[in-house]
Amino acid sequence: MERTGAQIIWECLVHEGVQTVFGYPGGAIMPAYDALLDYPIHHVLVRHEQGAAHMADGYARVSGRVGVAIATSGPGATNLVTGIATAMMDSSPIVCITGQVNSKLIGYDAFQEVDITGITLPITKHNYLVTDVRELTHVLREAFYIARSGRRGPVLVDIAKDVQQALLRDWEYDDRPIQMTGYRPDKSPLTADLQRAAGMIHEAKRPVILAGQGVLLSGAMEELREFAEKTQTPVAMTLLGIGCFPASHPLNLGMMGMHGEAWVNNAIQQSDLLLAMGMRFDDRVTGKLETYATQARKIHFEIDPSEVNKNVRVDSALIGNLRDTLGKLSAHIEACDHADWNDQITDMKGDSAVRDILNLPDNGHLYAAHVLNDLHRHTHGEAVVVSDVGQNQMWAAQYYKHDQPYTYITTGGLGTMGFALPAAIGAKFARPEANVWAIVGDGGFQMTQSELSTAAQEGIKVNIAIINNGYLGMVRQWQEFFFDKRYSATPLRNPDFVKLAEAHSLTGIRVTKRSEVETAVNQAETAEGTVIVEFCVEKEDSVYPMVPNGADLQNMIQRPVRAQEER
């Protein structure tokens, strides 16, 4: 067959099973866009290339498949950078395809030329510059293989315009297995390491499992549940690990870390064994490293050897795919009884529970915690929730409980404001039957609100809950706690979000009282197309508990009881 480079791009994507791509055309990628019309791939026209990367990311996290974003050269490519860095920090498999100026012009500052492979070198798992059409098929196949194998991550393929226009005679798709010198993603723990870890597990009296996103990425949810039940070990989750272990399970402790539950952090600090599964001991999880779980031995289940001993020194490391590792470890594990330890953790919950805002009566004030709790109740906990960054993110993590995996999507490592709306659109394309809710702050939403036009043009349905407190909420909270309430550059003058929805021919709803929440949620879910629900919540409410930056994990700022009584 004769194929141009532009046709080869789509031939390869079809062979990889790609059905949807997110992108924005331009001069250097125009040949590829012309060829697209002849292929059965749906293209979603974004309003900003950052949105394309986030949509591909959300698509990948919900579906488990590789998401694809496309952009032109120069500013089109650089607009992808934030989304690529987000995917890199959170191990999300996406492939970004960018156009580049003609190969003979590279290095001469041609119009819209930028060294995008150089720019993205630190924030991609790998990247390529293609200047020969004969290399294109192999490069694209490698890109998808790298993105989805081992520790997943983003790969960028930069393709010169003349490569897209070049004609390759006798082209055929090479479907032989990919083999790359020096890249060995399929690692497996040694039997001796498994036996040593089993011995530590059997000796433990106060174990805690720390479950991260690696559980979800490896599909190890069932293996984790079986291990936890067999050993009667309580399970704490990272922010990105939410959903990997059912919230309703009696061994589920909740979220750990800076805004985790108080009893979870206390249990970690009092434990004698931590089993870190698919998590990397991020600073928002550990607090002050010198005082982190000093009584506990630590076993690190990790697919990426470079993460072992990077932040926290561990006593044993089991390198490999978590699902496979847990399957092999189970042969060395006997049933354990930790009833006393689990009872002790239950007792820890008492003081924390009475401080919870959900115990406040409905006194006319609308709190974000009430919104998320009521949203959980009215959607029966079955929605795919995509949260942005800041207070809205933490309230969503704390008050919307997830029993199913791949139903809480958020940006963890990079903390990218503006992530939620485009990522929710990507999630909806991955799971069109799902009830998708984007939880956003009034600040972060405005960073990518242009993607409302994308949702409207595509005719898809995403429900958007704007937690409007008139501030950049999390920054304001830090200013309240640590800067004597000097609110520098955090108050927001917002647009009328209901009218904004109407400007896009979408539905807009405003809620100012808790009694209105259920009606608004029902209206949003029954309306056609994307809906904005603006929740006008208390302006100076804060997320509790909170571990101050650099503090000991157990030294949390709790919601003041006096403040509750005053309200």
Catalytic residue among 237, 255, 447, 474: 474
- Taking alpha carbons only, the member of 25, 22, 63, 5 closest to residue 405 is 63
Strands of the sheet containing 463-468, edge to edge, are 408-409, 384-387, 436-441, 463-468, 531-536, 507-511
- Taking alpha carbons only, the member of 382, 377, 384, 376 closest to residue 400 is 376
CA distance 38 to 20: 14
Produce one character per residue of 217-233: b if its CB has 16 or more CB atoms within 10 Å, e if not: bbebbebbbebbeebbb
Q: Which residues are CB-neighbours of 505 under 8 A, at least 6 positions away? A: 456, 529
Instruction: Please confirm, yes or no, whether 230 is among the known catalytic residues.
Output: no
Q: What is the DSSP letter of 558?
A: P
Tokens 């979408």 sit at which residue? 506
Single-letter code of the amino acid located at 114? V
Tokens 């998808």 sit at which residue? 144
Q: Residue 31: is the preceding peptide bond cis (ω within 30°)?
A: no
Catalytic residue among 1, 104, 111, 222: 111
Instruction: Please confirm, yes or no, whether 458 is among the known catalytic residues.
Output: no
CA neighbours within 13 Å on the CB side: how many for 105?
16
Contact 89, 151 (CB under 8 A): no
Instruction: Please confirm, yes or no, whether 474 is among the known catalytic residues.
Output: yes
CA distance 160 to 100: 4
**Ordered DSSP codes for 9-72:** HHHHHHHTT--EEEE---GGGHHHHHHHTTSS-EEEE-SSHHHHHHHHHHHHHHHSSPEEEEE-
Contact 420, 444 (CB under 8 A): yes
Q: Which residues are CB-neighbours of 516 under 8 A, at least 6 positions away? A: none
Instruction: Please confirm, yes or no, whether 112 is among the known catalytic residues.
Output: yes
439 pairs with which residues across the strands?
Answer: 387, 465
CA separation, residue 272 to residues 144, 200, 204, 567 (Å): 41, 10, 6, 40
514 three-state secondary structure: helix
Catalytic residue among 11, 55, 113, 161: 161
Catalytic residue among 11, 16, 49, 223: 49
Instruction: Please confirm, yes or no, whether 161 is among the known catalytic residues.
Output: yes
Active site residues: 49, 111-112, 161, 474
